[in-house]
A and B are shown apart, each in its own frame.
Chain A
Amino acid sequence: MGAEPREVEKIRERFAESLREVVYFRDEDTLVVAPEKILEICRFLKEDPEMDFGMLIDLTGIHYLERDYSYEVVYHLLSLKRKRRLRVRTRLGEEGEIDSVVPVWRTANWHEREAFDLVGIRFRGHPDLRRILMPEDYVGHPLRRDFALEQ
């Protein structure tokens, strides 16, 4: 295997015990990390001058059935200066709770509200975790795999 991208190398150094897996597919790098450290890792990715991922382009949730994890939260980062993209993915158990990254990037606010609304992931420390696309009194989370399309 060739040399690792610098981002992966540095994360491996700093967060060795939290890095679960690194995936390379179609020239895209994905770090699979432990959910407990997400806030720290994100802050490092944003603030370290060599990383400089100033922009959280997207944040989304995925629901799974019959796996040893129930949710994945996917973060898409972009460095404007270095013109680099990085994907960070983390797996959650049935409780579906993770620290909010709003303190790192303000743009996460609406993205996390959407992941809460549609997938049902709860973000600890989010300033205003309300539904965003579905009506306020709606029951259920439509993007879960056990939610039938006809419902």
Chain B
Amino acid sequence: MPDPTETTTLLDPLAPETITLNMGPSHPSTHGVLRLVVELDVEVVKKVVPHVGYLHRGMEKIAESMTYHQFIPYTDRLDYLAPLSNNVAFVLAVEKLIGLEVPPRCRAIRVLCCEIARISAHLLWLGTGALDLGAATVFFHTFRERETLYDLIELITGTRLTTSHPRVGGLARDLPPNLIPELKEFLRRFPAQVDEYEKLLTRNRIWLKRTQDVGKISAEDAIDLGMTGPNLRGSGVEFDLRKAFPYSGYEQYDFEVPVGSVGDAYDRYLVRIEEMRQSARILNQVADHMPEGPINTDDPKVVLPPKQKVLTSMEELIHQFIIVTEGIPAPTGEIYHAIEAPKGELGFYVKSEGEKSPYRLKIRSPSFVSLQGIPLMAEGLMVSDLIAVVASLDPVMGEVDR
């Protein structure tokens, strides 16, 4: 019979006390600087309190003292895994405020940019999400394709990460001639590569065990919590802004909106995999039917004149000077415009008092809203499932904290 006093220093694993664990703000599985304070009963998650704001840069405040064009580079740093779609979302909002139409070629190039961004964002999510759950191989596969996509982005915009490519009323420059052939070459290989990822995961027993019935959320809860994008569609709600409120000419393209059925991490995985295929389908159509013509609107008060003309013609010089120093003329009013970004509904609310800067700019980011669902989805699960829940929501802290 051991002396009972000797064991008092050891913790009884069955004792009802809970421990508090800090996950983050710098933990690899939080995809940035998300901090989760978790109350654990041994390994069962009793309570999760997400803390955000570690990457808050005050973008909305900064916007209030900038011209609309000056703010475009800031949008790169929202969802930094899909900067092109943030840029497009912002310029579409400003164009709506001004009441500006852009030429068909510009619209098609923007769709192309958005879909490339979606595939590359989903590839990153897939690679890192699988890595979080211990499946390291997928990461190397997805990053191989991501590299090709970044090369394409570099061809289009000149940079890989901080693209700032679209402009109010057009684009920074036209597509280089070799882009379409290179894109077609990528699209020829891509479906087989998605099959490869699926071979590694979709029927993999460990993957099924780690994701099925994990982080379940019903359609009603997802709507009540304001979730959008793949996180909403995973719960079986067929809603995609590209179909519901088509922008930039999405109504011309033929694609399907995949939805899940039970709303668990596995469904969200399936939805994103299928979205990559559908994006490739859209890209094929864009590449085959790229309209010819100008990329910028013909409005000298909004679009910068060609450099050659600025150097030789007085009128263009004046326009250039006015646009750069005074910004573009925006009417008094308020608008909200949202696009289907890779993470969900990315919207810009612009309140203008007719000045060169917005009076108030609110960025509605999908990740900010999705993170609110973590407590509901993770409480009662094991701590390792919490990792799967966070990964399946695909948050990016750049757009959460703004």
User: Would you call B223 and A58 a contact (CB within 8 A)?
Assistant: no
A-B contact pairs, 7 of them (CB 8 A): A25-B335, A57-B226, A58-B362, A83-B244, A106-B225, A142-B61, A149-B65
Q: Which applies to chain B's interface (DSSP): helix, strand, loop or mixed?
A: mixed
Partner of A132 from the list B53, B61, B226, B239 (CB cut-off 8 Å) is B53
A92 to B335, CA, bound (A): 21
Within 8 A of A (CB), among B302-339: 333-336, 338
Is B79 at the interface (CB under 8 A from chain A)? no
User: Would you call B362 and A60 a contact (CB within 8 A)?
Assistant: yes
User: Would you call B96 and A107 a contact (CB within 8 A)?
Assistant: no
Q: Which residue from chain A places its CB closest to the CB of B237 in the assembled complex?
A: A80
- Provide the A9-27 mask, 1 if CB < 8 A to any CB of B, else 0: 0000000000000010110
Within 8 A of B (CB), among A53-86: 54-58, 60, 62, 74, 76, 80, 83, 85
Partner of B223 from the list A54, A118, A134 (CB cut-off 8 Å) is A54
Partner of B360 from the list A30, A62, A149 (CB cut-off 8 Å) is A62
User: Would you call B372 and A110 a contact (CB within 8 A)?
Assistant: yes
Is B347 at the interface (CB under 8 A from chain A)? yes
Is B253 at the interface (CB under 8 A from chain A)? no
Within 8 A of B (CB), among A92-147: 105-107, 109-110, 118, 131-135, 142-143, 147
A62: which B residues are within 8 A, CB to CB? Answer: 351, 359-360
Is A28 at the interface (CB under 8 A from chain B)? yes
Partner of A118 from the list B60, B62, B245 (CB cut-off 8 Å) is B60
User: Would you call B347 and A28 a contact (CB within 8 A)?
Assistant: no
**A56-B226, A107-B369 known; A30+B239 contact, CB < 8 A:** no
Partner of B336 from the list A55, A58, A83, A106 (CB cut-off 8 Å) is A58
Q: Which residue from chain A places its CB closest to the CB of B401 in the assembled complex?
A: A133
Within 8 A of A (CB), among B351-365: 351, 359-360, 362, 364
A-B contact count (CB 8 A): 90
A138 to B345, CA, bound (A): 30
A76 to B257, CA, bound (A): 24
Is B125 at the interface (CB under 8 A from chain A)? no
User: Would you call A55 and B349 a contact (CB within 8 A)?
Assistant: no
Q: Which residue from chain A places its CB closest to the CB of B360 in the assembled complex?
A: A62
A109 to B98, CA, bound (A): 32
Is B143 at the interface (CB under 8 A from chain A)? no
A134 to B58, CA, bound (A): 9
Closest Cβ of chain B: how far from A148's Cβ, in Å? Answer: 10
B333: which A residues are within 8 A, CB to CB? Answer: 25-26
Partner of B349 from the list A76, A80, A106, A143 (CB cut-off 8 Å) is A76
Is A43 at the interface (CB under 8 A from chain B)? no
Is B214 at the interface (CB under 8 A from chain A)? no
A133 to B50, CA, bound (A): 12
Q: Which residue from chain A places its CB closest to the CB of B345 in the assembled complex?
A: A57
Chain A residues engaging chain B, CB cutoff 8 angstroms: 23, 25-26, 28, 30, 54-58, 60, 62, 74, 76, 80, 83, 85, 87, 105-107, 109-110, 118, 131-135, 142-143, 147, 149
Closest Cβ of chain A: how far from B376's Cβ, in Å? Answer: 9
Is B172 at the interface (CB under 8 A from chain A)? no
Q: Which residue from chain A places its CB closest to the CB of B220 in the assembled complex?
A: A54
Closest Cβ of chain B: how far from A141's Cβ, in Å? Answer: 11
- Provide the B365-379 mask, 1 if CB < 8 A to any CB of A, else 0: 000110110000000
- Provide the B40-80 mask, 1 if CB < 8 A to any CB of A, else 0: 00000000000011001010111011000000000000000
Q: Which residue from chain B places its CB closest to the CB of A115 in the assembled complex?
A: B362
Give the most central of B53, B223, B226, B368: most A CB within 10 Å. B226
User: Would you call B334 and A25 a contact (CB within 8 A)?
Assistant: yes
A60: which B residues are within 8 A, CB to CB? Answer: 349, 360, 362
Is B84 at the interface (CB under 8 A from chain A)? no
A9 to B175, CA, bound (A): 48
Is B99 at the interface (CB under 8 A from chain A)? yes
**A74-B349, A106-B224, A110-B372 known; A143+B56 contact, CB < 8 A:** no
Q: Which residue from chain B places its CB closest to the CB of A135 in the assembled complex?
A: B53
A105: which B residues are within 8 A, CB to CB? Answer: 224, 226
User: Would you call B60 and A143 a contact (CB within 8 A)?
Assistant: yes
Give the most central of B58, B64, B371, B401: most A CB within 10 Å. B58
**A62-B359, A133-B56 known; A55+B223 contact, CB < 8 A:** yes
A-B contact sample (6 more), CB < 8 A, given A28-B335, A62-B360: A26-B96, A54-B224, A57-B338, A57-B347, A83-B245, A143-B61
